[in-house]
């Protein structure tokens, strides 16, 4: 692990300053980093995946865990900043257990970089990271979606990645939003987590634990992919379409969401579907549980079947 003084000196030698637009805030409280690693406890025989490796402080601990504990066989670390990637390449030159990737982990808001998917491969993945705030929500959503698809051998494009666990630091407000099932903080990612994962909240992290300090508190959180729960969902693509249709205009009533579906059923049939899953047509998206969204998506998956 690197102290604040070591990180400052390392960046100063290279003439580097943290880039705010990339959300570069380095976790410098070594005690809290230890708690993050303790919460992570990577899945046995998995690949450890780090997003936003920075100067490699967490990376070196992940390599040590992979080498000593036998809980993982390799580490894949992704860094978008070319200046920091140069530092990482120098620091970890010759480390066979580590694969460094110089790229944006997200090819778009709704897709993980295919090159990243190819490197991670089909083996179980344990994500452990101090996530940049601006990519946390879309990355978590895509990891859950791709993990669901990887459980379906018949599913087109199912040769993706299986992210068994995700342990990370993120803005406290975002961490809290992931575990809610209603209210103003509730949203599409809350539904995905509620249907496909289980959440363990970790320590709240003060802004002083980072450098440069962010304007808000952060929190450690762990999400484990739930195979059994995921097996009850017939199509994650239909689920995503449904929740986007509902939350696109979250003040509108549930009955109006049919107009925002790509291939909508007849309005009368849609209202019958809502009745079947006990959704009141006058409900707002905030008042519909993840389980109800899942049941509605399953009905929608069968809407063209007898």
> Which element (helix H / strand E) includes 114?
helix 114-120
Nearest to 94 by CA among 48, 63, 62, 130: 63
Distance CA 54, CA 33 (A): 14
> Which element (helix H / strand E) includes 205?
strand 197-205
- Where do the domains of the chain lie, and which CATH numbers do they carry? 4-230 (3.40.50.150), 236-301 (1.10.8.100)
291, two tokens: 């389980």
Nearest to 56 by CA among 23, 13, 26: 26
pLDDT value for 72: 66
Q: Print pLDDT tens along the chain (306 aa).
A: 899 999 999 999 999 999 988 889 999 999 999 999 999 998 777 899 999 999 999 999 999 988 887 666 799 999 999 999 999 999 999 998 999 999 999 999 889 999 999 999 888 999 999 998 889 999 999 999 999 999 886 555 545 799 999 999 999 999 999 988 888 889 999 999 999 999 999 999 999 999 999 999 999 999 999 999 999 999 999 999 999 999 999 999 999 999 999 888 999 999 999 999 999 999 999 999 999 999 999 999 986 554
213, two tokens: 């300090």
pLDDT value for 155: 54
In angstroms, what CA-CA distances link 196 with 19, 82, 95, 147, 149?
34, 35, 35, 9, 11
Nearest to 142 by CA among 251, 43, 236: 236
10, two tokens: 């390392």
pTM beyond 0.85: yes
Three-state SS at 174: helix
């Amino acid at each position: 692990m690197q102290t604040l003084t070591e990180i400052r000196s390392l960046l100063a030698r290279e003439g580097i300053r943290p880039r705010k637009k990339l959300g570069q805030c380095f976790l410098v409280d070594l005690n809290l980093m230890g708690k993050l690693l303790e919460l992570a406890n990577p899945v046995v025989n998995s690949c450890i995946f780090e997003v936003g490796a920075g100067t490699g402080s967490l990376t070196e601990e992940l390599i040590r865990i992979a080498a000593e504990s036998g809980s993982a066989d390799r580490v894949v670390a992704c860094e978008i900043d070319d200046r920091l990637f140069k530092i990482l390449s120098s620091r970890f030159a010759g480390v066979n257990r580590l694969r460094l990737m110089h790229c944006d982990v997200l090819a778009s808001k709704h897709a993980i970089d295919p090159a990243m998917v190819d490197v991670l491969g089909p083996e179980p993945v344990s994500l452990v990271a101090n996530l940049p705030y601006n990519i946390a929500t879309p990355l978590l959503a895509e990891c859950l979606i791709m993990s669901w698809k990887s459980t379906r051998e018949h599913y087109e494009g199912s040769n993706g990645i299986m992210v068994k666990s995700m342990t990370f630091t993120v803005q406290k407000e975002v961490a809290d939003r992931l575990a809610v099932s209603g209210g103003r903080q509730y949203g599409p990612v809350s539904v995905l987590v509620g249907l496909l994962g289980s959440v363990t909240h970790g320590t709240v992290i003060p802004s002083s634990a980072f450098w440069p300090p962010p304007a808000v508190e952060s929190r450690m959180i762990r999400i484990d992919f739930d195979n059994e729960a995921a097996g009850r969902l017939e199509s994650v693509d239909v689920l995503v379409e449904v929740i986007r249709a509902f939350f696109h205009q979250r003040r509108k009533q549930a009955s109006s969401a049919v107009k925002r579906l790509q291939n909508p059923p007849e309005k009368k049939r849609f209202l019958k579907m809502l009745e079947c899953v006990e959704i009141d047509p006058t409900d707002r998206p905030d008042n519909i549980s993840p389980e109800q969204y899942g049941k509605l998506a399953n009905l929608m998956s069968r809407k063209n079947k007898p």
